[in-house]
Amino acid sequence: MLAEYILTEEQKAIKEAAREFAEKEFPNYVEECDREEKFPFELWKKAAQLGFIGMSIPEEYGGQGLGILDSCLVVEEFWRVDAGVGQIVGTVFGSEQITLFGNEEQKKKYLPPLAKGEKICAACYTEPQAGSDVAGIKTRADKDGDEYVINGTKMFITNGSIADYYIVLARTDPNPPKRHHGMSVFLVEREREGVQANKLKNKLGIRANDTAEVVFKNVRVPKENLIGEEGKGFYQTMIFFNVTRIPVAFQAVGLAQGAFELAYHYARNREVFERKLADFQVTQEKLAKMRTELEAARLLAYQAAYFQDKMGMPDPGLTAMAKYYTAKAAQFIVNEALQIHGGYGFMGEQHISRMYRDVRILEIYEGTREIEMEIIGRSLLGKVPSRLGAVRKHPLQ
């Protein structure tokens, strides 16, 4: 509904093309990839050939140079059909560090194969003892001549066991004046000696999306693999998360849209007590609340993406607000959708039950809901640069 009013004709075409691709191709992979917890390489290649991968990568480096709203429209449509295989668009995850902070040589070398669907990237930030607390990482990158030697373990890494490139946050100063100082970002190629990836299994949801523990043991990389400035890694990573939280908001909107559609049509066709389920007031109230939450969530997601495209950089407060609210709305909508399905929704083979498993990740990765709330609060108080802090004084105060 919203798309009809604020999207350009080109954006509408992108959204429709993504929808057609997902509806046609995803059903061939969804159940098998979820059951066997495997990444759909064939589907990823098809998506890359049609230009759905790396859309925001600049044209001069093999991408399409489109705005984040354009690429997020694909995310929304892919997650509407299925969250697990819909994560194929995430094979460039981490490359934002190269685009934002990399030098010309790094961009020319590493971005084109990602945009073409020839290579896969993984962002390595989380550690066994440091998730939301990025400043708590222990991974070290010690300088040795013209090289850095990296040692440490990263956990819950998206694309971890299938990646060709790892974007790694590590400490280059073991004794910084402040705990968030002295970190740097490196690109580590998979083939380097000492890199080991261990696939994590039995996840609750998005099982087609690869997740792994990645261990770096005396991994040597040349100084040319440093992305951005030494010691600026924390700053770069915070900007990275402000950018990548926007696609997560669109994941939530897409998943919520799919769940609402399932519930709506089930209610319209299911008969109980010799009446259509949708004819009961309690069902109508559920559907009304679900649709209202969905549209409100979509507005916040679109606003966050629009602001970044307009200003060139994301607004941390607005981005956190979009991710927090869309994830919360998706949880509510999926939960109500399953309730409408009743016992049939509880059965594991039903699509809505898979959505129920998948939706839970949205309030965890890219910053937990608690972290998002803290960012919103700090933005309101002016402690984080955000338009949310521009609150006028009431005239009667």
DSSP string, 299-354: HHHHHHHHHHHHHSS--HHHHHHHHHHHHHHHHHHHHHHHHHHTHHHHSTTSHHHH
Task: Give the list of residues 6+ apart from residue 67 with CB closer than 8 angstroms, or none.
Answer: 56, 305, 308, 309
Is 122:248 a contact under the CB 8 Å cutoff?
no
Residue type, position 51, single letter: G
> Residue 208's closest CA among 50, 356, 82?
82
What does the alpha-carbon distance between residue 324 and residue 343 come to, in Å, rounded to a whole number?
Answer: 30
Is 277:340 a contact under the CB 8 Å cutoff?
yes
What does the alpha-carbon distance between residue 260 and residue 340 come to, in Å, rounded to a whole number?
Answer: 10
DSSP string, 133-189: -GGG---EEEEETTEEEEEEEEEEEETTTT-SEEEEEEES-SS-SSTTSSEEEEEEE
Total length of the chain: 397
Is 327:245 a contact under the CB 8 Å cutoff?
no
Residue type, position 360, single letter: R
> Residue 264's closest CA among 340, 335, 329, 339?
340
User: Could you confirm whether 366 is annotated as catalytic?
Assistant: yes
Name the catalytic one among 366, 370, 372, 374: 366
What does the alpha-carbon distance between residue 233 and residue 220 come to, in Å, rounded to a whole number?
Answer: 18
**Element holding 271 (H helix, E strand):** strand 271-272
Is 25:50 a contact under the CB 8 Å cutoff?
no
Q: Is 124 helix (H, G, I), strand (E, B) or coil?
A: strand
Reported as half-sphere exposure (CB side, CA atoms, 13 A), residue 277 has a value of: 18
Query: Taking the alpha carbons of 351, 357, 360, 364 in that order, is the dihedral positive or negative?
Result: negative
Annotated catalytic sites, by residue? Answer: 366
